[in-house]
C-alpha cells in the first residue's frame, strides 16, 4: 500500500495511522514531531491561552498530561510502547494527550533506529 503523504510503497504492517491518514513510519514520525499544517494556529493559541492565565512550563496541563511529562522528564527518551503501557492507554488516547504537550512545545516524538520515542523538548 502507499503512504498517503509521500506515496512510498510500504508493507501493511509498517503503516501508521495518524489524523485519519495511513502513513509510512518516516511520515508518521515527522507528523508526531512537527505541528500539522493547521497547527501553527493551535500552537500559538495554546501558548497565548497559557500566557493569559500566567501558565508556564507544565502549569495548566491536566494530571494525565503532567504524568506523561514527568515520566519523560525522569526517563529522558521513552519508547512509544513503553509510554502506552505506563499510561495504560491505547496508542490513540496517548496520541491525543501527547498532542497537547506538543502544542505547548513541551515534548516531541523522534525516531531512533526503527523505534519511535517520546522526549521532552
Question: Which CB atom, from 14 or from 82, has the smaller least distance to Zn ion?
Answer: 14
Stretch that binds Zn ion, among 24-32, 71-79, 88-96, 98-106 (CB under 5 A): 24-32
6 binds Zn ion (CB under 5 A): yes
Question: Which CB atom, from 16 or from 69, has the smaller least distance to Zn ion?
Answer: 16
67 binds Zn ion (CB under 5 A): no
Phi, psi values for residue 11, rounded to 5°: -70, 150
| C-alpha cell at position 47 | 501558548
Distance CA 80, CA 62 (A): 20
24 binds Zn ion (CB under 5 A): yes
Among 15, 16, 18, 27, binds Zn ion (CB under 5 A): 27
Which residues bind to Zn ion, rule: CB under 5 A? 3, 5-6, 8, 24, 27
Amino acid at each position: 500500500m502507499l503512504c498517503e503523504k509521500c506515496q512510498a510503497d510500504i508493507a501493511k504492517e509498517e503503516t501508521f495511522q495518524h489524523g485519519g491518514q495511513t502513513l509510512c513510519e518516516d511520515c508518521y514520525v515527522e507528523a508526531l514531531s512537527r505541528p500539522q499544517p493547521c497547527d501553527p494556529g493551535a500552537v500559538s493559541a495554546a501558548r497565548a491561552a497559557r500566557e493569559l492565565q500566567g501558565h508556564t512550563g507544565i502549569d495548566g496541563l491536566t494530571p494525565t498530561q503532567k504524568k506523561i511529562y514527568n515520566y519523560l522528564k525522569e526517563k529522558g527518551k521513552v519508547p512509544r510502547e513503553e509510554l502506552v503501557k505506563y499510561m495504560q492507554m491505547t496508542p490513540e488516547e496517548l496520541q491525543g494527550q501527547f498532542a497537547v504537550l506538543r502544542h505547548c512545545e513541551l515534548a516531541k516524538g523522534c525516531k531512533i533506529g526503527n523505534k519511535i520515542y517520546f522526549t521532552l523538548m
